[in-house]
Homo-oligomer: A and B are copies of this chain.
Amino acid sequence: MPELRKDPVSGRWVIIATERAMRPTDFKTEPQPIKGGYCPFCEGNEDKTPPEIMAYREKGTQSNTKGWRVRVVSNKFPALRIEGNLNKRGEGIYDLMNGIGAHEVIIESPKHIVSLTELDNKQVEEILWAYRDRLVDLKKDKRFIYGLLFKNVGTAAGATLEHSHSQLIVTPIVPITVMHEMNGCEEFYKYRGRCLFCDMVQQEISTGSRIVLEDDTFIAFTPYASRFPFEIWILSKIHSSHFEDLQKLEIEELAQMLRKVLQKLEVSLEYPSYNYIIHTTPFVLGEIEYYHWHIEIIPRLTRVAGFEWGSGFYINTVTPESAAEFLRNVNTEKKA
């Protein structure tokens, strides 16, 4: 059983995944790049993954066989376990609990594609629907507090399989990064009576210089205090605290925007490694006015060194304004 342990100094929780444990000698070499060849996520290899939790598939086809378009399975090497109770306890000054949670993989296509942008808009919509359906299902479990959706693409971003996929990790604690964001937003709300992210959207629209893409419903921009070159956030222009409350028409617009933004990165930076993460409101809270779900896209072009680890300061050598200008001017048409 993995353990969740709390660092009493920072309040950060760590998953000590003892069952995935590696021997110290396993670390003598650098992490290996992604292997090609045989792929457990490809159509026809359904028996090579844990059984499917959910799939969008052609009528009449059987679970764990061909015929699916998007397929969700448990991670074969889960960071957290779905079964058991938390058993919160102390060890002197330290706190721990059992590593209970969910760790799922959203396989985005039956074909061996390496990017979500190879799919058409309708297929990207189904990925977003899968995100939403899994959150809605998992929030029914009272042990779970938070669902973090994320995507690792490329070796530098920590991906170990090439076949386009996302992941969902559901935790019994609000992640500290989200908690810090929510605290900041709550303070702003107490002072101003408005959602900080909504104010940000207003200012970005009126300034214009950091906008990458904009439509009626969403805006993609390089944040004012971008940590990384070409960091991009996607926000809904209308206030919304929970990703899983997206309207059908919004999902259509979001799919289109997400695909286009990623295309711009791929075309202009030659398929960089990247992560994206979705920050949403914890399961236990209803609709709230002060926090606003959003997507953070982080190209992994630079390495994080001691200063960043030690301080939380980031040194970004590309101004968000020049990154946005560069990305605005990328023509994604030529790719097709």
Contacts and interface: CB of A to CB of B under 8 A. Distances in A.
Contacts of A94: 203, 224-225
Interface stretch (A46-54, A62-70, A312-320): A312-320
B22 A317 contact: yes
Contacts of A322: 21, 24
A298 B305 contact: no
A279 B310 CA distance: 7
Nearest to A292: B9
Given A268-B24, A306-B152, A169 B10 contact: no
Interface string A14-42: 11111011101001101100000000000
B313 A9 contact: no
Contacts of A20: 317
A137 interface: no
A299 B31 CA distance: 13
Contact of A203 (B30, B93, B269): B93
A318 B178 CA distance: 26
Given A150-B306, A225-B94, A180 B11 contact: yes
A18 B318 CA distance: 7
Contact of A21 (B91, B177, B303, B319): B319
Interface of A: 5-18, 20-22, 24, 27-28, 30-31, 79, 91-94, 148, 150-152, 155-159, 167, 169, 171, 175-178, 180-181, 184-185, 188, 196-197, 199-200, 203, 207, 223-227, 229-230, 268-270, 272, 275-279, 296, 298-299, 301-320, 322-323, 326
Nearest to A31: B303
Complex copy number for this chain: 2
A316 B7 CA distance: 13
What secondary structure prevails in chain A residues at the interface with B?
mixed
Contact of A17 (B171, B184, B270, B317): B317
18 contacts: A7-B223, A8-B184, A8-B188, A10-B181, A12-B312, A14-B315, A15-B313, A15-B315, A18-B319, A24-B268, A91-B224, A92-B207, A93-B199, A169-B307, A171-B311, A176-B311, A180-B312, A298-B309
Contacts of A176: 311-313
Nearest to A7: B225
Contact of A196 (B8, B13, B167): B8
Contacts of A225: 5-8, 12-14, 16, 94
